[in-house]
Amino acid sequence: MKLLKILVVDDHALVREGLRQVLKGLDEQVEVLEAPHCTRAFELAALHADLDLVLLDYHLPDMNGLDALDVFGREHPELPIIMLSGSVNPQIMRQVLAKGAAGFITKSGLSNDLLAVLRLVLAGDVYVPPELFSDPSVPQPDESEAGKVAPQLTPRQEEVLHLLLDGRSNKDISRILQLSDETTKNHVTAILRGFGVQTRIQAVLAAPLYGYTKSAPSA
């Protein structure tokens, strides 16, 4: 059984202890490192090059989540970061994901939901909270952004895109559309190229500007 190494960054000891207990529910053996602030988190990340994942609180005493993402992105670009927050703020969600976070989770969620997101991210995917596109408070695109010429996607690529908007992983997309994993990967790559972006999350954030909405085909 593979050993996972996860760094939990939160200034509340009880939250860190609670997350430590939840992380025991993963299917793999887990070693949990703890940091009460970003300074210590960066030290631990430098000392442990084999980190698999970071759970990062958005509100920390020495740095906010967006600034911390910048540092992790420069120093450890391949390390997936899941942002934690005590509030549901779609604008912050959008900013965090656009900065390169692999997911955003609220602390009010259920343990099983957190574990499902962790497994998704550890498998190499990104998690887009459903609140991002369902909450009416999410800022609408500027008029200057609206009306952009949509990328030329094939009908199959549009199906894949709708499933990406629904937060589906590549494995889910392959199963739902009965495609090979390689074919799904090729479609996702074509979608990224069409939107002129580099990551799945950037494509998900850009899609509404071109009129694409969250409407996945039936499984």
**Residues ≥6 apart with Cβ < 8 Å to 208:** 133, 141
Q: What are the distances in angstroms from CA 115 to CA 84, 109, 110, 125, 175?
A: 13, 11, 9, 14, 21
- What pLDDT, in 10s, does the model give residues 98-131? 788 888 998 888 899 899 999 888 887 778 787 7
- Which CATH entry fits the domain spanning 3-134: 3.90.550.10, 3.20.20.140, 3.40.50.2300, 3.30.1490.20? 3.40.50.2300
Residues paired with residue 29 on neighbouring β-strands, in sequence order:
3
- What pLDDT, in 10s, does the model give residues 132-185? 755 544 444 444 444 456 678 899 999 999 888 887 778 889 999 999 988 998
Alpha-carbon gap, residue 136 to 80, rounded angstroms: 29
Rounded to the nearest 10°, the torsion over CA 175, 177, 183, 187 is -120
Say if CB 93 and CB 105 are below 8 A apart: no
**Residues ≥6 apart with Cβ < 8 Å to 49:** none
Tokens at residue 118, please? 């962790």
- What pLDDT, in 10s, does the model give residues 42-101? 999 999 989 999 999 999 999 998 899 989 988 987 788 999 998 778 888 888 887 888
How much is the pTM? 0.67
Residue 180 Ramachandran class (φ > 0 left, ψ -120 to 50 alpha, else beta) = beta
Residue spans per domain, the chain: 3-134, 155-210
Residues paired with residue 84 on neighbouring β-strands, in sequence order:
57, 105
For tokens 């709708």, the residue is: 162
Say if CB 82 and CB 57 are below 8 A apart: no
- What pLDDT is attached to residue 96? 87
**What kind of fold does domain 155-210 have according to CATH?**
Arc Repressor Mutant, subunit A (1.10.10)
Task: Name which of 60, 30, 2 is nearest 21 in CA terms.
Answer: 30
